[in-house]
C-alpha cells in the first residue's frame, strides 16, 4: 500500500470536528419548553379562552313553560258581563323535530262579574246598620286542557317568533251565591260540648251563604298561541321568556265562548 502523506492532516481535522458537530445535534434549532415548565411563556388561561370562543355553545330548547297573565272575555262571553280576570297556564313539550313540536298544556282562567259583585257589597254597606240587605255574587272558572302543534322557525336563535294551535277540552264551573244576615247563637245546650264558636255578646248579624247555584260542564274547543321568544342568558340551559297572546274558544250549547289572554311566560 502506497503511503499518502496528505491523509494524516485530513484525519486530524475530522477527529477534532466530530465532538463539536455532535454537540450541535443535541441542541434543537428552536427551543420549545414544556407547557407546564416553570417560567415558560405558555399561557393556559389564554388558550382556554380561545377554545371557548371557538366551540359552539350547546343549545337546549325549553321544555317547560309557565304563563302568567290576564284573561279577557270577548264576544258572547263578554256579553254575559264577565270582567277581565286571571290566567295561569303550565305547558310541557312532549316531542320536537326541527322547528315543529307537540306541546300539552293545562290552564286556569278565572273571571267574575266584578262590577256586579262590588255593587252588591256597596249596596249592603250603603244601607247602614240594621238594613240586612242580601249580598249576591257571580263567578266563573275554566280549566282548558289542550294539545297544540307548535311552530318556531328560528328555534335555535336568541329570539324567534312562534305560533301554535290545537284541540282542547274545557271544564267550566259557574256559581251564583246569595249571602243573608244571620245571628249566630249557641243552641248546643248547657250540658253538651259539640263545638266552640266565639259568639259575641250581644249577638251580631253575620253574612252567611244560604243559597248557592252552580253548573259544571265539559266543552270541546280549540286553543291557539302566538308571540315572541327571547333567550335571557347563556350556557347549556338558560332561562327563556315569551310575550304571548293566546285564545281559548269552546262551545256551550252551540254558542262559541271566547277568552283572549295576554301573558308573560318563563321557560327552562
Give the model confidence (pLDDT) of 177-228 as tens digits.
Answer: 999 888 766 555 555 544 445 555 666 778 888 899 999 999 999 999 999 9
Q: Average the pLDDT over 30-58 and give the result.
A: 62
**Cβ atoms of 249 and 261 closer than 8 Å:** no
**Which residues are CB-neighbours of 175 under 8 A, at least 6 positions away?**
138, 139, 140, 212, 213, 214
* Number of residues written out for the chain: 268
Lowest mean pLDDT across 64-73, 147-156, 242-251: 147-156
pLDDT higher at 17 or 242: 242
pLDDT tens for 154-170 read 877 888 999 999 999 99
- Do the beta carbons of residue 266 and residue 229 sit within 8 Å? no
pLDDT band at 59 (very low <50, low <70, confident <90, very high): low
Domain map (residue ranges) of the chain: 62-113+140-172+221-267
pLDDT of residue 22: 53
C-alpha cell at 179: 249571602
User: How many other C-beta atoms lie within 10 A of the C-beta of residue 15?
Assistant: 9
Cβ–Cβ under 8 Å, residues 77 and 259:
yes
Distance from C-alpha of 95 to C-alpha of 97, rounded to nearest angstrom: 7
Query: Is the pLDDT reported for residue 69 higher than 70?
Result: yes
pLDDT for the residue 195: 46
User: Does the pLDDT value for residue 56 go beyond 90?
Assistant: no
How high is the pLDDT of residue 181? 86
Residue 267: predicted pLDDT:
93
Report whether CATH 2.40.160.20 matches the domain 62-113+140-172+221-267. Answer: yes
Pick from 71, 44, 121: nearest CA to 245? 71
Q: Average pLDDT, whole number, for the chain?
A: 81
Q: Which of 260, 191, 183 shows the shortest CA–CA distance to 224?
A: 260
Amino acid at each position: 500500500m502506497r503511503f499518502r502523506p496528505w491523509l494524516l492532516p485530513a484525519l486530524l481535522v475530522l477527529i477534532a470536528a466530530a465532538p463539536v458537530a455532535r454537540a450541535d445535534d443535541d441542541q434543537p434549532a428552536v427551543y420549545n419548553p414544556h407547557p407546564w415548565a416553570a417560567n415558560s411563556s405558555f399561557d393556559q388561561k389564554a388558550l382556554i379562552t380561545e377554545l371557548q370562543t371557538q366551540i359552539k355553545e350547546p343549545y337546549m330548547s325549553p321544555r317547560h313553560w309557565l304563563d302568567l297573565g290576564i284573561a279577557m272575555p270577548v264576544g258572547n262571553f263578554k256579553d254575559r258581563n264577565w270582567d277581565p280576570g286571571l290566567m295561569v297556564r303550565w305547558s310541557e313539550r312532549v316531542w320536537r323535530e326541527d322547528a315543529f313540536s307537540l306541546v300539552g298544556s293545562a290552564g286556569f282562567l278565572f273571571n267574575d262579574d266584578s262590577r256586579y259583585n262590588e255593587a252588591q257589597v256597596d249596596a249592603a254597606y250603603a244601607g247602614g246598620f240594621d238594613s240586612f240587605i242580601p249580598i249576591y255574587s257571580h263567578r266563573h272558572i275554566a280549566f282548558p286542557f289542550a294539545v297544540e302543534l307548535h311552530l318556531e322557525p328560528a328555534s335555535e336563535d336568541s329570539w324567534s317568533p312562534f305560533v301554535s294551535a290545537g284541540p282542547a277540552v274545557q271544564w267550566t264551573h259557574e256559581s251564583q251565591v246569595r249571602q243573608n244576615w244571620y245571628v249566630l247563637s249557641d243552641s248546643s245546650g248547657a250540658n253538651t260540648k259539640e263545638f266552640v264558636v266565639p259568639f259575641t255578646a250581644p249577638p251580631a248579624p253575620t253574612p252567611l251563604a244560604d243559597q248557592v247555584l252552580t253548573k259544571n260542564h265539559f266543552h270541546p274547543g280549540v286553543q291557539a298561541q302566538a308571540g315572541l321568544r327571547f333567550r335571557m342568558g347563556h350556557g347549556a340551559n338558560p332561562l327563556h321568556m315569551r310575550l304571548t297572546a293566546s285564545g281559548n274558544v269552546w262551545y256551550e250549547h252551540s254558542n262559541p265562548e271566547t277568552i283572549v289572554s295576554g301573558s308573560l311566560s318563563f321557560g327552562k
